[in-house]
Amino acid sequence: MSQQNKDVIRKLVDGVWIHRDLNVFDATFSDAFVDRTPRPGMDPGKAAFRQMVIGMQAAFSEDHTSLDDMVAEGDKVAWRWTYRGKNTGPLMGMPPTGKTVTFCGFTIDRIVNGQIVERWHQMDVAGMMAQLQS
């Protein structure tokens, strides 16, 4: 089971974050998905999380996500990632800067029947913003 769950994460990173295929997002996340660490004021459901992904993809181009580490046990997969992208679109109300940023994050996903049903995640938003404002 752990290997199958790791494959779900690999499919997610490749499909959504590298190839920008939202069909993979829809297939990978359960309709019952709950984000346990949503941004302030953000709904914890699948639709709101999908909108956040769309917003990131609109804000950054020439981007790439690397899957740096991954550990799976039971129904959970913990994974560390690095994102690199050029800010060519608006982000959180700020105009594009044209700057390239690199930031890291850590995610724990709970997977049931091949779909992500819960997520806990942290990303270096402060580091990203510092790079955009420097």
Give the DSSP H or E segment for 50: helix 46-59
104-126 average pLDDT score: 97
User: Mean pLDDT over all residues of the chain?
Assistant: 96
Mean pLDDT of 106-113: 98
Domain boundaries, the chain: 2-133
pLDDT at 39: 87
Helix/strand/coil for 131 = helix
- The pLDDT of residue 70: 98
pLDDT at residue 1 in the model: 75
pLDDT of 95: 96
Query: Do 108 and 120 contact (CB within 8 A), yes or no?
Result: yes
Q: What is the pTM of this model?
A: 0.94
Name the pLDDT band for 17 (thresholds 50, 70, 90). very high
Read off the pLDDT of each residue in 69-96 and give the average, rounded to a whole number: 97
- Give the mean pLDDT of 13-35: 97
Q: What are the strands of the beta sheet with 76-87, ordered from one edge?
A: 29-35, 115-123, 100-112, 76-87, 60-73
CATH topology of domain 2-133: Nuclear Transport Factor 2; Chain: A, (3.10.450)
Distance CA 83, CA 45 (A): 23
Tokens of 71: 């550990």
